[in-house]
Structure 1
Amino acid sequence: MTALVTPVTAAELAAHRDELADLLVAVVREGSSLGFLADLDHAAAAAWWETLLPSLRDGTLALWVSRPAEGAPVDGTVAWARETKPNGRHRAELRKLMVHPAARGRGTARALLAEAEDAAARAGVRLLFLDTETGSGAERLYRAAGWTEAGTIPDYAADPAGRLHPTTLYYKHPSPRPR
């Protein structure tokens, strides 16, 4: 099944905030390390999504959602944030690639990643980078998609249970997919 991946505007984010909060809570409770601990509740997740609104409005953040079909609930997201400092405007950080636990194994993460990479290239981003928990399933995805490992930092972040884990940094020079 191919995921339907679409960009999200600030107005759409505001309108679907609760749905996105449900997704974030489900992914964190399943154990994904996304910067939150297991006690994340719906209100805190919704508030976090709202913090993205200014960056979506000013264009420094690009966000996509995936759905298995038109009108179906959101089953995944990905974003990238462009650097705003003058010496780094050529790069962006890939953020919060997440897929609902019930939707995994369907190519959703690959579809979201490909769309984010393609959009970055079209926007003139020449370098994408990310960090992910070392040893996670996400590492296989990034390697298969042509990302290059840059190094590992020990005890970088806590998982949802509060245990410290190393993180691995990756980068990629995106290029647009043939249309």
Structure 2
Amino acid sequence: MLNQVRIKEIKSVEEHIEKLSELLVKVVEDGASIGFLPPLNPSDAKKYWENLLTPEVILFIAEINNEIVGSVQLHLCTKQNGMHRSEIGKLMADPLIRRKGIGRSLMEQAENRAREEGRTLLVLDTREGDPSNYLYSSMGFVESGRIPDYAKSANGELNATVFYHKILT
């Protein structure tokens, strides 16, 4: 499967807005903790994508047979004291084809781009207990801390979030 995946940066969501919105709705419905709760209205998903891209946000998508099956964002810090760092945002993979290397490929692409941008620190957070914790640890991210009751799940339960960092060399 991995050799069929194509990762690419997109500079405009316009031609991909429907597929990106479908992906977002799918992953939220599947329980992903990425800032939304199910049921996510498709028009809200579309609005999210329409307002995402700015000069400091780089968006990568994963495609198989020209179908979007994943995405990740790289947020470049623009503060004077933070020009050396960037943050990973909203790593998503289609729930039907998870654990096939799509998330890892997207993360590798974002990490490489961070290096190209001269960034030496990469940070991210994820819900405690999610499978993404294993992915990030396996890619050399180090747990930096936890905040209890950080994000609400669909069932109303409050969950901790885990912050990770990685020094890029």
TM-score using structure 1 length: 0.90
Deviation, structure 1 residue 16? 0.7
Counterpart amino acid of residue 158 in structure 1: K
For residues 153 and 111 of structure 2, the distance between their equivalents in structure 1, rounded to whole angstroms, comes to: 26
What residue number does 2:10 align with?
8
RMSD: 1.0
For residues 139 and 77 of structure 1, the distance between their equivalents in structure 2, rounded to whole angstroms, comes to: 17
For residues 91 and 134 of structure 1, the distance between their equivalents in structure 2, rounded to whole angstroms, comes to: 23
Deviation, structure 1 residue 41? 1.1
For residues 119-147 of structure 1, what are the alpha-carbon distances to aligned partners after superposition, in whole Å with 9 as ceiling and x for unaligned? 11111111110010011100000000000
Counterpart amino acid of residue 39 in structure 1: P
Residue 68 in structure 1 maps to residue 64 in structure 2: yes
Give the number of the structure whose residues are more often strand, by fraction. Answer: 2
For residues 10-31 of structure 1, what are the alpha-carbon distances to aligned partners after superposition, in whole Å with 9 as ceiling and x for unaligned? 2xx1111111000000000000
Aligned pairs for 1:151-170 within 5 A: 151-170=145-164
What residue number does 1:99 align with?
93
Deviation, structure 1 residue 42? 0.7
Aligned pairs for 1:98-177 within 5 A: 98-175=92-169
Q: Secondary structure at the match of 2:132?
A: helix
Q: Secondary structure at the match of 1:16?
A: helix
Residue 51 in structure 1 maps to residue 45 in structure 2: no
Give the count of matched residue pairs. Answer: 167
For residues 145-171 of structure 1, what are the alpha-carbon distances to aligned partners after superposition, in whole Å with 9 as ceiling and x for unaligned? 000000110000112333210000000
Counterpart amino acid of residue 92 in structure 1: S
Deviation, structure 1 residue 106? 1.0
What residue number does 2:73 align with?
79
What residue number does 2:28 align with?
28
TM-score using structure 2 length: 0.95
For residues 110 and 166 of structure 1, the distance between their equivalents in structure 2, rounded to whole angstroms, comes to: 23
For residues 64 and 173 of structure 1, the distance between their equivalents in structure 2, rounded to whole angstroms, comes to: 21
Deviation, structure 1 residue 100? 0.7
Aligned-pair identity (%): 37
Structure with larger RCO (C-alpha < 8 A, sep 6+): 1
